[in-house]
A and B are shown apart, each in its own frame.
Chain A
Amino acid sequence: MRLSFLNFIILKKKIFSLFILLFYLSCSTDDVEEQVPNINTTTKPLNNFDRQGMLVFWADSIIIPAHQKFQIDLINLSNSINDFSSDTSASSLNNIRENWTTAYKSWQHIEMFNVGKSEEINFPVRMNIYPVNTQRIEAKILNSDSDIENPNDYAAQGLPAMDYLLYGIGANNSEILEKYTSENSEYLSYLIVVSNKMVELTDLVVSDWISSYRDIFISSTENTATSSINKLTNDFIYYYEKGFRANKIGIPSGVFSGNTLLDRVEAFYKKDMSKTLSIEAITAISKFFKGISFHGNSSPKGTSLKDYIEFLETTKNGTSLGQLIIDQFELSRTALNGLNDDFTIQLENNKLDMLITYDIIQVAVVLLKVDMLQALNINVDYIDADGD
């Protein structure tokens, strides 16, 4: 677009307008090139979208309410453990179990939001690392050791540790109950340690959001590696790829190892909850992407990633990318619904259906991690989880 020297001299009267034209062309803020074979996006500037509105919706309508629900569930869980310690009966144990189930389902709605205090204290890793290291738990119980700050103890605490303590320490309910009814039961002590730590960490995360982080979060509207939208979008995709796809489905099915790994199923000791948790997860994923509030079903609605890529008019092979992603989430949900409540039974009877489900889930990884990030001009900020 360079003007030749001669033109410039001859058209001296149009110098000013040419100057402006040159300035405009060189300083254009177009962010997206349209040289990709099948991805098309408008040339609308990314910043014309209400980025802060999206952050406010995320924080106020999804993230904070979801964390608060989880916080309440943990308090109920803690109270029922308290009741159990003065009445170690089967019905009290049942109450704990129900509250734990409720909390575990609520957890699926917040595992993906690893920013702020959550990131600082390694919240997801302290709440939901599985498989449980039962050897570690038993050693701690044997030694009356209540210190679970060492990273090697991350796999000995949280919701999975409680799964083991409620369902795995005996071959049947009476054996399990026995471990708690003895005088000064170390199992009970450790159960309380695990519960207290979950409450403590969750309180830290929630109060940080409410007291200071929310305002920091919503004002970070720029497009940099450490800005809110970039970090949260990355967290969302990382959770979809690792927390959801790999941890719940891929690893147990042997996709990364060649062997089926039954004991890597989420809630392995309760067994029949693995599907429930996966469905809860895809619900959380879907609602976040579509912009549906935590307490809503299809409304109230706010702006989220789907709206953003629709604003950018991103299409893939002629179809709206947002629609492709939503469709794929629905296909994943349908496939998950067709599986056994207990993924270990599913894997033993018909592993192929799990593998098919995995493949369906996988399709959206590409749509999110490659196509969506490209449209939003966001770089991936995590190292690929090694499947080895």
Chain B
Amino acid sequence: MKKLYTMTMLLSIMIFLGCEKEVPGPTVEVEVPGPTVEVPGPTVTVEVPVAVEPAVYAFNRDGVSTVYYSGQTTRLNQHDEIKGKMNDATSTKAGILAMFNDGTGFTDATLDGSKKVGNKTATNSANTATNLAKFEGWITEFVDVVAVAVNANVDATAGVAGSVSDAGGGSRTGTKVNAKGHELNQVFSKSLIGAFNLDQIINANGSFGYVTGPKLNPVSADNDIPELHYTSPGASEANVTKMEHYWDEGFGYLYGQDDQLDPQLGQGGLLNDYLSGVTASYNTIGIADNIYNAFKLGRAAIVAKNYTQRDAQAAIIKVELSKVVGAKAASYLRSGAGHVTNNNMASAFHSLSEGYGFIFSLQFTQKADGSPYLTYDEVNAKLTELDAGNGFWDRTAAELTAMANAIDTATGVNTTL
């Protein structure tokens, strides 16, 4: 009888284990707790005030707002128009270069003036000249090669620039590509996300980004007084310190097309646009709140003259904002792989061109230790892999997925979620 009991019990347990079905749970929103900021206790007689994070990004002096960043807004808007022109087969090379390098010739004449995107591209990181030359190369190739082929109604094939459309049930048609399947306005624009948008905010290896120590520390003495140097739009005389304004310019590069007090995200075509999706996806849920909060608290710390607290917030901004680039570099390779499998080559080239630009941007990111996810050399090695043979025409879904996995390993973002 004992044997019967044992056998029956074992059998039951086997069935129990065998029949158990896991129903995957639904996605649950998880609140990511904010980082702990440690302010060292005072060991000298002078106490450094600890700033409190305000509810919104609003800062006044004598009742007037000290926050403005019109130059950043202008450049973000300039990018959007240039990106459109980079997909317009009637554009001229001189026209696009004038917009990019000289800040002139925009269809929206309010964008003409002293602000330019070109002279703020790749300036805060190593290899400025060779990187900047790539942008001009893409402009040239689009006008001289791709637009010419498109206007001649050439059908793109491996090794031949022209138009390509989805044949596998996808609905993307008339995508303009070079011989390797690059949709150049996407490569151009997504590369600017790192080289221009992110670089201007967080890097300091050349010129100095707006939330970096080398940019802000030299004006600490000024800020301590406080020496009022800039005049905000609502004021009649100087009312903003240099440090306050630099930090606001960093803020403006992210929120310059958005609502300062209540960011909506998804604006324009650069970091703000992609932050919207990334903050709701993968293992990066909630980073948008972390970033906005860090901007607020860092700016309050500047007013409180607490530079240690300011730098702790800057560190958060650098790491969290970099995740936008890290996430999209891998995720666009994954969606490209899906389109390749479905033989929707226009959609594939569109996604892969975006991925290509985001990979280019990886060299401008920062991890917590200040180093980028991938170095200049590592980035170029990946781009060379993507360009092998006839470039995107030759890439298999397996290759692309493997590359996406490698990028996830380098960034710590899990884009399979």
Contact = CB atoms under 8 A, between A and B. Distances in A.
Interface stretch (B60-68, B159-167, B292-300, B398-406): B159-167
Given A150-B165, A152-B163, 17 more contacts: A3-B9, A15-B8, A18-B12, A19-B11, A28-B21, A37-B28, A122-B169, A125-B169, A133-B174, A136-B174, A151-B164, A152-B173, A155-B165, A242-B171, A383-B335, A386-B335, A388-B350
Contact of A259 (B17, B84, B339): B84
Interface of A: 1-3, 5, 8-9, 12, 15, 18-19, 22-23, 25-28, 30-33, 35-37, 39, 114, 119, 122, 124-125, 129, 133, 135-136, 139, 150-155, 242, 258-259, 374, 383-386, 388
A150 B80 contact: no
A194 to B, nearest CB: 16
16 contacts: A2-B16, A12-B1, A18-B12, A22-B16, A23-B12, A26-B18, A39-B26, A125-B170, A129-B173, A136-B174, A152-B163, A152-B165, A259-B84, A384-B335, A388-B186, A388-B350
Contacts of A154: 165-166, 173
Closest 9 CB pairs of A and B: A151-B165, A27-B19, A26-B19, A151-B167, A26-B16, A155-B173, A152-B165, A36-B26, A22-B12
A374 B26 contact: yes
B372 interface: no
Interface in B222-256: none
Interface in B120-171: 151, 153, 155, 163-171
A26 B22 CA distance: 11
A388 B354 contact: yes
A114 B169 CA distance: 9
A150 B171 contact: no
Nearest to A243: B171
Interface string B80-97: 100010000000000000
A45 B198 CA distance: 51
Contacts of B16: 1-2, 22-23, 25-26
Contact of B171 (A23, A125, A133, A374): A125
Contacts of A384: 335
B336 to A, nearest CB: 10
B20 interface: yes
B173 A33 contact: no
A31 B23 CA distance: 7
A386 B350 contact: yes
A143 to B, nearest CB: 9
Interface of B: 1-2, 5, 8-9, 11-13, 15-21, 23, 25-26, 28, 80, 84, 151, 153, 155, 163-171, 173-174, 186, 267-269, 335, 338-339, 346-347, 350-351, 354
Nearest to A155: B173
A26 B167 contact: no
B9 A125 contact: no
Given A8-B5, A152-B173, A136 B155 contact: no
A30 B25 CA distance: 13
B9 A119 contact: no
Nearest to A153: B165
Contacts of A28: 21
Given A139-B153, A154-B173, A27 B351 contact: no
A35 B173 contact: no
B88 to A, nearest CB: 12
A150 B166 CA distance: 10
Nearest to B346: A151
A3 B5 CA distance: 13
B338 A383 contact: yes
B22 to A, nearest CB: 10
Nearest to A22: B12
Nearest to A256: B266
Nearest to B80: A258
Given A122-B167, A152-B173, A386 B26 contact: no
A41 B357 CA distance: 44
Nearest to B336: A383
Contacts of A136: 153, 174
A237 to B, nearest CB: 15
A27 B19 CA distance: 5
Contacts of B5: 8-9, 12, 15
Contacts of B84: 259
Contacts of A374: 26
Given A12-B5, A133-B173, A154-B173, A32 B165 contact: no
Contact of A152 (B174, B267, B269, B350): B174
Contact of B9 (A5, A258, A385): A5
A1 B16 CA distance: 10
